[in-house]
Amino acid sequence: KKRILSGMRPTGPLHLGNLHGALNQWVALQDEYECFYFVADWHALTSNYEDPVGLDEFTLEMAADWLSAGLSPEKSTLFVQSHVKEHAELFLILSMITPLSWLERNPTYKDQMAQLVGKDVSTFGFLGYPVLQAADIIMYLADAVPVGEDQIPHVEITREIARRFNHLYGPVFREPQVLLTKATARILGIDRRKMSKSYDNAIYLGDPPETIAERTSRMITDPQRARKSDPGDPGVCNVFEFHKLYTDPEKVKEIDAGCRSAALGCVECKKNLAVSLAEGLAPIREKRAHYMERPDQVKQILADGTQKARAVARQTMEAVRAGVRL
């Protein structure tokens, strides 16, 4: 069986970008592959080190989101990064062989430096973010990594690091592939920038219908459509993108036609979307409430998964230490 690995930073509840960019894919892969999914709490610390309060709470909330969306502890290994200390050891060893230039030219590093206002991320740990991510991935000899588009550069660096290790010390690691769901690899938020917690433009899996309606009503539609009487272009409208995901296909056709002929205004179109979204997310919202009331059960699932992950990590580290003669 091929191995799949992916992770998410516990920086808050999950949003639709996380769901459509990654989580739905994680769920779908569970039946066919051997899957490892983990909470990247050390990665969250790279940008939240000044205020780490809540990381453990966020970890449980994230795991509750995962279970609600359909990840199953019977099928997949669900674990917490900081509980598998081997990740830190491998990160250290990989840091010896990773040229600074690979990290300095990492596009997500430059973007985030500009984006994370009010946070001082001019740290060694933040520059080394992709090295830790490489350790996460190759530790489990993963064949493929299901992620959204923004993570492609990190998986590229991972491949380079794996190759360099193998070249220097012998063939220990595999070079992982990126697995993208093309149509939803980059979900836009209500302001049309990438949906992200830090932009405050997200809709969250646990949002109640009122919140969904309020946020949806503020979504930017086709920017060229100034008046209701103007015909719109669903092809460039973010609201329409979500209709394709949440509204039944017959209705989507009507919305497409109504928008193009100006028979359907954006306000009404967004109201329809709010209803579809609230309905579509209802099962997740209910399960989420169930798990949030049972933190001990969620903790136990993560503890069991961590045991399994550690067993694999220990084995990999034996080969790594032999390679570097330690």
State the binding site for L-tryptophan.
136
Q: Which is nearer to ligand TYM, 148 or 232 (CB)?
A: 148
Least distance to ligand TYM from the beta carbon of 150, Å?
A: 5
Question: x/- binding map, residues 37-76, to ligand TYM, per CB under 6 A?
Answer: ---x--x---------------------------------
Residues in binding site for ATP: 9-11, 17-18, 148-150, 187, 194-198
Please give, one letter per residue, the 3-state secondary structure of the chain: CCEEEEEECCCCCCEHHHHHHHHHHHHHHCCCCEEEEEECHHHHHHHHCCCCCCHHHHHHHHHHHHHHHCCCCCCCEEEEHHHCCHHHHHHHHHHHHCCHHHHHCCHHHHHHHHHCCCCCCCCHHHHCHHHHHHHHHHHCCCCEEECCHHHHHHHHHHHHHHHHHHHHHCCCCCCCEEECCHHHCCCECCCCCECCHHHCCCCECCCCHHHHHHHHHCCCCCCCCCCCCCCCCHHHCHHHHHHHHHCCHHHHHHHHHHHHCCCCCHHHHHHHHHHHHHHHHHHHHHHHHHHHCCHHHHHHHHHHHHHHHHHHHHHHHHHHHHHCCC
Q: Which is nearer to ligand TYM, 135 or 259 (CB)?
A: 135
Backbone angles phi, psi at 7, to 5 degrees: -145, 165
Q: Does 136 contact ligand TYM by CB under 6 A? A: yes
Least distance to ligand TYM from the beta carbon of 300, Å?
A: 23
Binding residues for ligand TYM restricted to 16-35, rule: CB under 6 A? 17-18, 21-22
200, burial (CB in 10 Å: exposed 0-12, middle 13-18, buried 19+): exposed
Give me the residue whose beta carbon is nearest to ligand TYM.
Answer: 21
- Using the contact rule CB under 6 A, the part of the chain among 5-13, 228-236, 264-272, 305-313 near ligand TYM is 5-13
Give the other-Cβ count within 10 Å of 157's Cβ.
Answer: 21
Q: Which is nearer to ligand TYM, 25 or 225 (CB)?
A: 25
- Using the contact rule CB under 6 A, the part of the chain among 29-37, 65-73, 145-153, 274-282 near ligand TYM is 145-153
Q: Does 195 contact ligand TYM by CB under 6 A? A: yes
Q: Which is nearer to ligand TYM, 9 or 243 (CB)?
A: 9
Q: Does 186 contact ligand TYM by CB under 6 A? A: yes
Measure Cα distances from 74 to 37, 40, 304 in Å.
13, 21, 10
Least distance to ligand TYM from the beta carbon of 72, Å?
A: 19
Binding residues for ligand TYM restricted to 196-235, rule: CB under 6 A? 196
- Using the contact rule CB under 6 A, the part of the chain among 46-54, 142-150, 164-172, 209-217 near ligand TYM is 142-150
Q: Does 7 contact ligand TYM by CB under 6 A? A: yes
Residues in binding site: 9-11, 17-18, 136, 148-150, 187, 194-198
Binding residues for ligand TYM restricted to 268-297, rule: CB under 6 A? none
Among 8, 64, 274, 298, interactor with ligand TYM by CB under 6 A: 8
- For 119, residues 6+ apart whose C-beta sits below 8 A from its C-beta are 47, 48, 50
Q: Does 133 contact ligand TYM by CB under 6 A? A: yes
Going by C-alpha positions, the residue among 54, 58, 141, 156 that lies closest to residue 105 is 156
Q: Does 77 contact ligand TYM by CB under 6 A? A: no
Q: Does 6 contact ligand TYM by CB under 6 A? A: yes
Site residues (vs ligand TYM, CB under 6 A): 5-9, 17-18, 21-22, 40, 43, 133, 136-137, 145, 147-148, 150-151, 154, 185-187, 194-196
